[in-house]
């Protein structure tokens, strides 16, 4: 594999993007650069955005891939108004429209406390800049006040239902045990 960096194009870039679970368009742009730096940081490599022999080897290109080393669980809200539902499929479609390969979160918890699988845990998430390669992203439906509240979209509110709180605790305990 060739050494590649931001501005590079071609098959090696597409291979890299596929390994990082990005849309493989073969163009090493800002999203690919961010994913490379995040990967390098989480694997104790020089964080320079340049994909040379060490980064290729750590990615497992040409050999068996290295498993992800998870050291964080990052909790998110969907920024949905209180009392309103937003499905995992709606978030997936929104993320696909933004150019992600799938929903960015690994798990999504609806207001009824049901835990829905999002992106496969073996794949790098797309939920927190600089943290994706070594974390699991969990999102719950809610996080904003009622739509009737002035500037509701710019305000945060803990809207978790008792069922969501219980599900978050249960899921986080399971994830930590693994």
C-alpha to C-alpha distances, 160 to 94, 166, 170, nearest whole angstrom: 22, 10, 14
Q: When comparing pLDDT for 65 and 178, which is higher?
A: 178
CB 61 within 8 A of CB 15: yes
Tokens 């390994």 -> residue: 19
CA dihedral sign, ordered 33, 26, 134, 108:
positive
Is the predicted pLDDT of residue 110 greater than 80, yes or no?
Answer: yes
Interatomic CA distance for residues 172 and 170, integer angstroms = 6
Q: What is the pLDDT of residues 139-168, one digit of tens each?
A: 999 999 998 988 888 889 999 999 999 999
Is the predicted pLDDT of residue 61 greater than 80, yes or no?
Answer: no
Is the predicted pLDDT of residue 115 greater than 50, yes or no?
Answer: yes
Is the predicted pLDDT of residue 171 greater than 70, yes or no?
Answer: yes
pLDDT, average across residues 108-136 = 92
Is the predicted pLDDT of residue 65 greater than 60, yes or no?
Answer: no
**Sorting pLDDT into bands at 50, 70 and 90, what band is 108?**
very high
Per-residue confidence (pLDDT) for residue 99, from 0 to 100:
87
Helix, strand and coil content of the chain, in percent to the nearest 5, comes to 35, 15, 50
Which architecture, in CATH terms, is 72-177?
Answer: 3-Layer(aba) Sandwich (3.40)
Q: Where are the domains of the chain?
A: 11-59, 72-177
Please give the DSSP secondary-structure letter assigned to residue 9.
B
Which of 75, 79, 74, 73 is closest to 159 using CA atoms? 79
**Sorting pLDDT into bands at 50, 70 and 90, what band is 43?**
confident
Domain 11-59 has CATH 1.10.1740.10: no
Per-residue confidence (pLDDT) for residue 63, from 0 to 100:
45
């Amino acid at each position: 594999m060739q050494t590649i960096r931001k501005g590079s194009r071609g098959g090696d870039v597409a291979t890299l993007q596929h390994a990082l679970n990005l849309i493989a368009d073969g163009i090493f742009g800002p999203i690919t650069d961010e994913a490379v730096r995040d990967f390098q940081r989480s694997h104790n490599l020089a964080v320079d955005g340049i994909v040379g022999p060490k980064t290729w080897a750590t990615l497992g290109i040409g050999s068996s891939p290295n498993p992800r080393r998870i050291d964080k669980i990052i909790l998110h809200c969907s920024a949905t108004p209180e009392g309103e539902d937003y499905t995992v499929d709606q978030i997936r479609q929104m993320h696909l429209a933004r150019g992600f390969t799938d929903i960015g979160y690994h798990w999504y918890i609806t207001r009824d406390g049901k835990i829905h699988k999002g992106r496969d845990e073996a794949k790098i998430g797309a939920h927190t800049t600089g943290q994706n390669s070594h974390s699991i992203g969990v999102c719950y439906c809610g996080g904003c006040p009622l739509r009737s509240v002035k500037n509701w979209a710019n305000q945060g509110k803990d809207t978790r239902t008792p069922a969501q709180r219980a599900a978050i605790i249960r899921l986080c305990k399971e994830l930590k045990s693994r």
